[in-house]
Amino acid sequence: MATVSSGFSSARCQSEPFVCKRQVSGDVDNCSMGKRQISNEVGISALDSGDVPMSVRYLLQLIENESPGGAVELRVPPFGAIQCLEGLDHRRGTPPNVIEMAPEIFLELCLGKLKWESAHSTGQVLASGTLASEAAKLFPVQLGN
């Protein structure tokens, strides 16, 4: 497991502009389904340097790869959203199982600096739907080697 610094600030998270996942940078690899994949090297570098948008996208990518499915939508506005966890897939409209949080909370959960129960009980994580509680098993994220 890689070790990363904790150079994230909420002010930086809020000041970064939205960038579409398909426009992250030239430092990505194409996968077979046309999505751009952020390499472990680029992702770990983003975490170390405090690059919030790239870090969020990299961690969402790891979660999506580790827990594929379409039962829960995990949102980290304004930087990204994925569908994950097995169950009934949602196709159109608002999904029945949604988890949403600020980028700084997402990063703290992914890096093991904040526990799901604490973040959820204090309202830092908004979770709705019958499968929303399943999201607790997504954190912390096992970083690429």
Where do the domains of the chain lie, and which CATH numbers do they carry? 10-138 (3.30.1050.40)
- pLDDT at residue 91, rounded to an integer: 66
| The pLDDT value given to residue 145 | 58
pLDDT at 61 over 80: yes
**pLDDT tens, position by position, 91-129:** 666 778 999 999 999 999 999 999 999 999 999 999 999
List C-alpha distances in Å: 30 to 57, 69, 142, 144. 15, 20, 22, 17
